[in-house]
Amino acid sequence: MVGSPVDHSLSPVLHRAAYQALGLRGWTYERAEVRAGELTAYVSTRSRDWVGLSVTMPGKEEALALADEAGEEAELVGAANTLLRTEGGWRAENTDVVGLETALREAGAPIGVPALVVGSGATARSALVALGRLGATEVTLQVRARAREETLRLGSVLGMSLRVVTDGEGIGQEPRQGVLVSTVPPGGRTSALPDRDLSGVVALDVRYDPWPTAWATGLAARGAHVVDGLTMLLHQAARQVELMTGRAAPLEQMRRALEHRGRDT
């Protein structure tokens, strides 16, 4: 996998467990520090032995730009977290959408309720698509200063009513969101919290290390059911395994590997 930073990522735990369970001897999955603007050069030097790459921030938009073709979710979001080798070059896919959607469903997220998304970058756009599949039509974007134009356009494409608030303005009482998703990356800002009882609300923080985050702790104290990003990570990785190997992902073996992970992997 490539991105910056990547040392914290548990994706290798998941992919290696999958390859072992599938009997794919000789398959490897490593981390590589690839900074913004360096992805195209890095990919161009990969040998034909490479069947694919996982891409994390800040390279998701560059991954889509360099690809020769792209899947529906990647085109819609305008970013890709997966590159697949094809006969003609590279294909971009976005498995963050299915990872977010599945994680929210497993957490019991209510269907068709107003939602809040913290951030407006590539992962926030994946969250919008996932929330749209959960029936959300009213979404508040909470941003530090200004929402990205491409994220606002996506909301329009999805038929959503988007409301933008800044951290300084606060979230306010209305609309009463039933699903909250923070897409702030590791090391990012601490976001303002809704000042109300959050019983019945499902909140997903894409971060998982260190855990809990201040955002998660604050929401749990207000009664929300909060989940970390590990479930999202599991399901987006499972879809990557399927795309890269052409085989069904061994989900339970991957889940067990995550539960019993060692921090030195």
Same domain, 173 and 84: no
Same domain, 64 and 160: no
Mean pLDDT value of segment 111-120? 96
* CATH number of domain containing 110: 3.40.50.720
Does residue 16 belong to any structural domain of this protein? yes
Same domain, 59 and 10: yes
Is residue 85 predicted with pLDDT exceeding 90? yes
What pLDDT does residue 262 have? Answer: 52
Does residue 264 belong to any structural domain of this protein? no
Same domain, 205 and 251: no
Same domain, 135 and 180: yes
pLDDT confidence of 263, banded at 50, 70, 90? very low
| Residues with Cβ within 8 Å of residue 23, at least 6 apart in sequence | none
What pLDDT does residue 194 have? Answer: 83
Model confidence pLDDT, tens digit, residues 136-168: 999 999 999 999 999 999 999 999 999 999 987
Same domain, 181 and 255: no
Same domain, 40 and 61: yes
Same domain, 110 and 220: yes
How distant, in Å, are the alpha carbons of 46, 62, 113, 148, 227 from that of 122? 25, 11, 22, 10, 20
* CATH number of domain containing 25: 3.40.50.10860
Mean pLDDT value of segment 176-204? 89
Does residue 189 belong to any structural domain of this protein? yes
Catalytic site includes residue 113: no
- Which of 15, 60, 207, 239 is an active site residue? 60
Same domain, 111 and 216: yes
**Count: domains in the chain:** 2
Same domain, 142 and 209: yes
Does residue 157 belong to any structural domain of this protein? yes
The first and second tokens of residue 151, run together, are 């994220």
Does residue 249 belong to any structural domain of this protein? yes
CB 208 within 8 A of CB 163: no
Does residue 196 belong to any structural domain of this protein? yes
Query: In which domain, by residue range, is 154 found?
Result: 97-228
| Residues with Cβ within 8 Å of residue 210, at least 6 apart in sequence | none
Does residue 265 belong to any structural domain of this protein? no
pLDDT confidence of 188, banded at 50, 70, 90? confident
Q: Which helix (H) or strand (E) holds 142?
A: strand 138-143
181 phi, psi to nearest 5 deg? -135, 120
CB 82 within 8 A of CB 52: yes
Is residue 32 predicted with pLDDT exceeding 70? yes
Mean pLDDT value of segment 203-211? 93
Does residue 146 belong to any structural domain of this protein? yes
Same domain, 67 and 39: yes
Same domain, 110 and 46: no
